[in-house]
Every structure is written in structure tokens, then in C-alpha cells.
């Protein structure tokens, strides 16, 4: 079948590579893609949110499946757009409906879903301009730290973790009165701080049954030792050493099953990935957030570990046979290290030529492109996160060493990467 993949990051290159390994895939199109996805299929020159262009392509290229990488098109309703049009409704979309995508698109929607289905999470309240004064009072009496979240999508920047009441009150004012996050921050969720270690769990579901994919841990801070500003992600590891059978059982019983049953009870259409962002404190799991897609850079360690035919799994999502699928997984450890543009997550300059891409790498190493584009001068940088270099090893140290070794053969002006991904498990 012909498949369209939406998105342009390292996540999409990892998905593109896995999709093309499937005998089920005849032609792969990627919109808009990057220089890496161009080696797996045909890149298209339109955005993942250009629904009309997507519709035209589906018809023109006889596409049977659309795999959605990022959240934006999902929250904007790509699932409904394709499946409610008489000319394209035969196309299978991997992703939730717009209504279900609110699990990521609205923190308030997600928190009330968790409350309705007794999913363990931080206690919270929500405020708007209408009860602004009450919000200030709530903040002044809240234990520290206090977590403030803009309700809507804010490109990963809408969460403030405040260590004083003054800082929280200022952040709250900035969101509601000064519209610091625009529309997304007009409603604010204020919640208690969860301590512990974060882990990301991924589920592929058809809304009835599900398969649990390998778990991962990502490294969000720009600096070594988890210091400095938050980023989209500087690296990831999978499997996660503390993720044992006991923890997995608790997560399944307390979080995954209640989530799936909640979708069923509320008639929510969901045929895609659910990303559960969890905090584990003393062996007890709590939900931080849902995302309605795979994580980036987690995908760059989760997807290469899946040895099953990914398109076969996607087909099973469409025809209701997911419960019969066996997920085969590479037992080795995968570590990815992200090479970023100098200045990221602040300002940076695109267009820097990338050297070393053509050099052969060890078979256990995958160089995924994130922010790259092809020009007549060669492949150049085109974003903050530029490359995701994933390596397999028998443990985290071995895989991380191999990933860094491969990175040492790659360069572009201003390139930076953390040399300590997985450090706490050494
Ligand atoms: P979110 O956008 O909800 O994923 O939040 C971004 C990041 O903020 C999470 O990955 C956590 O690192 C942190 N975070 C969010 N909510 C909490 C919380 N209640 N307690 C502690 N950390 C949190
Ligand atoms: N790595 C976190 C995310 O994709 O949201």
C-alpha cells in the first residue's frame, strides 16, 4: 500500500525508516519531511497541517494509510477531516479524533478525564479571567513548588514550575492577564508538584485493545547533569533500568487499562499512539500528562527496538485485530544523543553544512535526521535539534558510548550535544 507520513523531525525519520522496512509499504510519502526522510521515500513540499494539500495527495497517489507524527494536525482534526470525507474515508489514519486529541490539546480536558477514571495524578484546580482573584488566593495557600500549566498547546513551553508563591502569582498573571501563551494560556491548570523520576510509556491502541511498546526516558535539559533550560529533548534511553515487572504491572492496572476503558466508556475514537508521561515516586506511578502521538526523541530509541512489522501493527489497529498481535522487541539497549544547533533552545542560525553523513557507520548505529534539509550545497541544518544518533549496546553505557563515537564523526558549525545521556544508570 501507499502510505503518507506527516511531520519533519527525528521521530518521523525513525518512523519512515521502519515503515519502509515493511513489505506492506509500496510507496512512502512524507510531508514535509527532512533530508533523512528523503532517503526513505518522497518528501512533499507542504505542511503537516495543510489539510487540502493532504486530501489532494491522498486521491492523486492512491494512499491507503496516513501516519501522523506531531500533535498539531491531530488537535486540528486531521483524523475527522479524512475519515468524514466520502472520497477519503477508506483511508486509515493512525491517530485519534480531534475530540480525543484533547487529551494532549487541553490540560483541563486531560485532568478531568483522569479524575473521571480515577487515574492517579497530581491534585489540581483550573482558573480563567473569571475567577482570577480566587486563583491568586489558591496560589498563596498552595504548598511549594507549584506547577502552572497553560491549558492549550504551547510547543512544550506552557509549564511553569515555581518555587515561590510570588513567582507563581507572577506567572499566573502573565498567562491570564498578559496572554503570555496567547489563547493557550487563557485557562490555567494549577497543580501540585510530583517528585520522582519521569518515564515515558507508549501504547498503540485501536480504542478497544492495545499493545504496550518499549518504555523510554528522555533528557529534557540542555546541559549535562540535567541543568540549564528545557528543550524538546537532548537524548533518550530504552529500556529504562528501574522499569521492572512490578512497576509495569502497576502502570497497566492503574493507568493504561483505566485510560482504555475511559476511552470506551466515553465513546472516544482513538486509533493511534498514546504517550503516557509518568512520574514514578517510590515505585508508585502517577500520570503527568497524555500526548496523542509518539515522543521525540523517545521514538528514536523505541521504534528501532521494535522488530515486528510496524505497518502490520498499524493495519491491525484499523481492522480490529490488534489483540492478536505479538510485539517482538530487540532486547538490547538503545540510546540516542541529539546534536543541536549552537544557541538552542535560544536563538540559532540555520543553513550550516553537515559533514560526515556519508561516512559508513557501524550496523548498530542509526543517524536520524531531525532539523535538516537538502540543498545544492549538500545537507544543511534546518532547526534546533539537527540529528539524533541512536546506537544499540548491551547496556546503557555501551550504547551511549557508541552513540557519542558516531557523533564524533559528524560535524556542523556550532554543533553541541550532551555527553552524559543515561549518566545516572552507569
Ligand atoms: P507537560 O507539558 O505536562 O509534559 O509538562 C512538561 C514537564 O514539566 C514534564 O515533563 C515534567 O518534567 C514537568 N511537570 C509537569 N507537571 C508536573 C508536576 N505536576 N510535577 C512535577 N513536574 C511536572
Ligand atoms: N520528548 C517529549 C515529547 O515528545 O513531548
71 lines ligand 2 (CB under 6 A): no
233 lines ligand 2 (CB under 6 A): yes
Q: How far is the CA of 294 from the centre of ligand 2 (A)?
A: 8
* Phi and psi torsions of 211, nearest 5°: -120, 140
Q: How far is the CA of 192 from the centre of ligand 1 (A)?
A: 10
CB 332 within 8 A of CB 399: yes
* Phi and psi torsions of 280, nearest 5°: -115, 120
pLDDT of residue 153: 86
124 lines ligand 1 (CB under 6 A): no
Q: How far is the CA of 87 from the centre of ligand 2 (A)?
A: 34
Task: Please state the domain extents for the chain.
Answer: 2-95, 129-186, 197-425
298 lines ligand 2 (CB under 6 A): yes
Helix/strand/coil percentages in the chain, nearest 5: 30, 30, 40
Peptide bond into 381 cis (omega under 30): no
Specify the residue with its C-alpha closest to ligand 1, atom 5. Answer: 159
CATH assignment of 197-425, among 3.90.220.20, 3.40.50.300, 3.40.50.10440, 3.30.470.20 = 3.30.470.20
Specify the residue with its C-alpha closest to ligand 2, atom 3. Answer: 295
Single out the residue of 74, 292, 300 nearest to residue 203, CA to CA.
292
Kindly give the number of the ligand 2 atom that is closest to the alpha carbon of 236. 1
159 lines ligand 1 (CB under 6 A): yes
Query: Considering Cα of 128, then 134, then 140, then 141, what sign does the dihedral take?
Result: negative
Testing ligand 1's pocket by substitution, the residue of 71, 278, 288 carrying the most ligand atoms inside 8 A of its CB is 288
| Positions in the chain whose pLDDT score sits under 50 | none
Tell me: the pLDDT tens digits for 70-119? Answer: 999 999 999 999 999 999 999 999 999 999 999 999 999 999 999 999 99
CATH assignment of 2-95, among 3.40.225.10, 3.40.50.20, 3.30.530.20, 3.90.228.20 = 3.40.50.20
Cβ-based burial of 49 (10 A; exposed 0-12, middle 13-18, buried ≥19):
middle
198 lines ligand 1 (CB under 6 A): yes
SS3 for 62?
A: coil
Specify the residue with its C-alpha closest to ligand 2, atom 2. Answer: 295
291 lines ligand 2 (CB under 6 A): yes
Kindly give the number of the ligand 2 atom that is closest to the alpha carbon of 296. 4
Single out the residue of 104, 67, 71 nearest to residue 82, CA to CA.
67
Return the beta strands (E) in 171-266 as ranges.
188-192, 197-205, 210-212, 217-218, 221-223, 227-230, 235-238
Testing ligand 2's pocket by substitution, the residue of 71, 291, 293 carrying the most ligand atoms inside 8 A of its CB is 291
Q: Model's pTM, two decimal places? A: 0.96
Ligand nearest to the CA of 385: 2
pLDDT of residue 156: 67
Single out the residue of 21, 19, 310 nearest to residue 29, CA to CA.
19
295 lines ligand 2 (CB under 6 A): yes
The separation between CA 321 and the C-alpha centre of its own chain, rounded to angstroms, equals 25
At the second CATH level, the architecture of 129-186 is 2-Layer Sandwich (3.30)
Residue 67, beta-bridge partner list:
5, 94
Cβ-based burial of 195 (10 A; exposed 0-12, middle 13-18, buried ≥19):
exposed
Q: How far is the CA of 158 from the centre of ligand 2 (A)?
A: 13
151 lines ligand 1 (CB under 6 A): no
Distance CA(231)–CA(224), nearest Å, equals 13
Testing ligand 2's pocket by substitution, the residue of 298, 299, 302 carrying the most ligand atoms inside 8 A of its CB is 298
CB 225 within 8 A of CB 423: yes
pLDDT of residue 310: 97
Q: How far is the CA of 373 from the centre of ligand 1 (A)?
A: 32
Amino acid at each position: 500500500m501507499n502510505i503518507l507520513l506527516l511531520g519533519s523531525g527525528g521521530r518521523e525519520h525513525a518512523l519512515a525508516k521502519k515503515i519502509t522496512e515493511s513489505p506492506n509499504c509500496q510507496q512512502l510519502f512524507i510531508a514535509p519531511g527532512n533530508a533523512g526522510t528523503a532517503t526513505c521515500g518522497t518528501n512533499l513540499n507542504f505542511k503537516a497541517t495543510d489539510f487540502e494539500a493532504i486530501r489532494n495527495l491522498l486521491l492523486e497517489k492512491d494512499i491507503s494509510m496516513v501516519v501522523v507524527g506531531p500533535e498539531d494536525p491531530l488537535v486540528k482534526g486531521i483524523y475527522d477531516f479524512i475519515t468524514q470525507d466520502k472520497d477519503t474515508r477508506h483511508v486509515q489514519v493512525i491517530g485519534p479524533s480531534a475530540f480525543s486529541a484533547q487529551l494532549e490539546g487541553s490540560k483541563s480536558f486531560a485532568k478531568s478525564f483522569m479524575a473521571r477514571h480515577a487515574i492517579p495524578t497530581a491534585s489540581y484546580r483550573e482558573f480563567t479571567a473569571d475567577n482570577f482573584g480566587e486563583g491568586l488566593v489558591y496560589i498563596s495557600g498552595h504548598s511549594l513548588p507549584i506547577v502552572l500549566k497553560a491549558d492549550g498547546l504551547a510547543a512544550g513551553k506552557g509549564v511553569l514550575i515555581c518555587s515561590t508563591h510570588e513567582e507563581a502569582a507572577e506567572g499566573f498573571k502573565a498567562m491570564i492577564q498578559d496572554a503570555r501563551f496567547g489563547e493557550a494560556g487563557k485557562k490555567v491548570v494549577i497543580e501540585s508538584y510530583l517528585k520522582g523520576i519521569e518515564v515515558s510509556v507508549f501504547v498503540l491502541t485501536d480504542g478497544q485493545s492495545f499493545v504496550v511498546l518499549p518504555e523510554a526516558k528522555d533528557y529534557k535539559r540542555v546541559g549535562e547533569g540535567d541543568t540549564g533550560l528545557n528543550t524538546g529533548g537532548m537524548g533518550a534511553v530504552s529500556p529504562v533500568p528501574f522499569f521492572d515487572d512490578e512497576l509495569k504491572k502497576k502502570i497497566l492496572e492503574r493507568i493504561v487499562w483505566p485510560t482504555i476503558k475511559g476511552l470506551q466508556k466515553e465513546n472516544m475514537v482513538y486509533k493511534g499512539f498514546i504517550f503516557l508521561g509518568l512520574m514514578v515516586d517510590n515505585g508508585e506511578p502517577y500520570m503527568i500528562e497524555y500526548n496523542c502521538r509518539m515522543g521525540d526523541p523517545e521514538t528514536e530509541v523505541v521504534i528501532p527496538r521494535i522488530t515486528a512489522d510496524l505497518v502490520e501493527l498499524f493495519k491491525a489497529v484499523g481492522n480490529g485485530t490488534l489483540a492478536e498481535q505479538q510485539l517482538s522487541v530487540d532486547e538490547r539497549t538503545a540510546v540516542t544523543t541529539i546534536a543541536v544547533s549552537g544557541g538552542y533552545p535560544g536563538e540559532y542560525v540555520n543553513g550550516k553544512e553537515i559533514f560526515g553523513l556519508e561516512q559508513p557507520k557501524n550496523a548498530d548505529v542509526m543517524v536520524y535526521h531531525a532539523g535538516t534539509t537538502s540543498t545544492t550545497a549538500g545537507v544543511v541544518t534546518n532547526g534546533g535539534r539537527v540529528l539524533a544518533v541512536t546506537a544499540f549496546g548491551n547496556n546503557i553505557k555501551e550504547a551511549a558510548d557508541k552513540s557519542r563515537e558516531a557523533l564524533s564523526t559528524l560535524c556542523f558549525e556550532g554543533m553541541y550535544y550532551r555527553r552524559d545521556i543515561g549518566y545516572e544508570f552507569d
